[in-house]
């Protein structure tokens, strides 16, 4: 199964994708995580991407798409994948379709995690991420059991450099500009399902699971 999670920064795409990937045995592909890994390892791609990410701008399509093509061809995607953070604009959506067509496959579901502005700001300004396993926490909503240490692996938690007020504003502006054409694109293809992501993480997950099961049932008839 191939799923896209769409939604603004802070919608909970990464949080939900990590749980879903385990439950459904799918690869979790986060272009944000892949780019941050390249930045921290100072690869050629990371050096090019750093400046865009620090400003809250999109990294150029050709760099991200090339990275995605490589990631999608890894063996762990055989059973399917969850895309988190890609596509980000119409060009990427079309490139993704082309790429999948060459593998004789397609996207099954596009889940739009609709989130209100106050919730987005509250989540991003309180987010903590594990430096080792990448698990997400939140100072208030999902606090770690031990101060600034990951419950899963004991790694140190940190705040993302783009989770500051100025960069959050820019990321949201970019999102607002690009998201309507994307929603329209997947709406026309009848793949889009909207759900409210303002709710508790477990409630959001249950809704996602219902949508996946509904889709699987529709394939049986």
Exposure class string for 129-148: b at 16+ Cβ within 10 A, else e:
bbeeebbbbbeebbebeeee
Task: State in angstroms the smallest separation of the CB of 79 from ligand AP5.
Answer: 22
Instruction: Identify the residue among 85, 96, 109, 178 touching ligand AP5 (CB under 6 A).
Output: 85
State the nearest-atom distance from the C-beta of 87 to ligand AP5, in Å.
Answer: 6
| Binding residue (CB under 6 A) for ligand AP5 from 104, 200, 218, 220 | 200
From 26, 27, 45, 53, residue interacting with ligand AP5 (rule: CB under 6 A): 53
Q: Which is nearer to ligand AP5, 2 or 32 (CB)?
A: 32
User: Rounded to whole angstroms, how far apart are CA atoms 186 and 181?
Assistant: 9
Indicate the helix (H) or strand (E) that contains 129: strand 127-130
* Contact pick of 2, 3, 6, 9 for ligand AP5 (by CB under 6 A): 9
Helices (H), the chain: 13-24, 31-40, 44-55, 61-72, 90-102, 117-125, 165-188, 201-220
Residue 220, token pair as written in the block: 């049986």
Task: Tell me: does residue 86 bind ligand AP5 (CB under 6 A).
Answer: yes
Contact map string, positions 111 to 150, toward ligand AP5, x by CB under 6 A: ------------xx--x--------xxx--xx--------
Q: Of 7, 28, 93, 150, which lies in the binding site for ligand AP5, with binding defined by CB under 6 A?
A: 7
Query: Minimum Å distance from CB 107 to ligand AP5?
Result: 15
What gap in Å lies between CA 79 and CA 105, rounded to an integer? 12
Q: Report, in Å, the least distance between residue 189 CB and ligand AP5.
A: 19
Q: Which stretch binds ligand AP5 (CB under 6 A): 20-28, 29-37, 99-107, 207-215?
A: 29-37
- Residues annotated as part of the active site: 13, 88, 127, 160, 171
Interatomic CA distance for residues 100 and 161, integer angstroms? 33
Kindly report the CA angle at 99 between 97 and 103, in degrees rounded to 5? 105
**What SS3 state is found at 40?**
helix
């Amino acid at each position: 199964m191939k799923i896209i999670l769409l939604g603004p920064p802070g919608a909970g795409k990464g949080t939900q994708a990590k749980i879903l990937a385990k439950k459904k045995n799918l690869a979790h592909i986060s272009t944000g995580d892949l780019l941050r890994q390249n930045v921290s390892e100072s690869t050629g791609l990371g050096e090019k991407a750093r400046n865009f990410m620090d400003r809250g701008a999109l990294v150029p399509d050709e760099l991200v798409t090339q990275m995605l093509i490589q990631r999608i061809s890894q063996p762990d995607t055989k059973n399917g994948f969850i895309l988190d953070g890609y596509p980000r604009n119409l060009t990427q959506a079309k490139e993704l379709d082309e790429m999948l067509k060459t593998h004789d496959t397609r996207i099954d579901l596009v889940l739009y995690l609709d989130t209100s502005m106050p919730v987005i700001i509250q989540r991003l300004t309180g987010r903590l991420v594990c430096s080792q396993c990448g698990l997400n926490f939140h100072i208030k909503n999902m606090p770690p059991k031990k101060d600034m240490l990951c419950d899963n692996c004991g790694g140190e938690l940190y705040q993302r450099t783009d989770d500051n007020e100025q960069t959050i504003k820019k990321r949201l502006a970019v999102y607002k500009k690009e998201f309507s054409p994307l929603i329209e694109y997947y709406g026309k293809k009848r793949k889009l399902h909207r759900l409210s992501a303002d709710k508790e993480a477990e409630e959001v997950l249950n809704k996602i699971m219902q949508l996946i099961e509904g889709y699987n049932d529709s394939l049986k008839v």
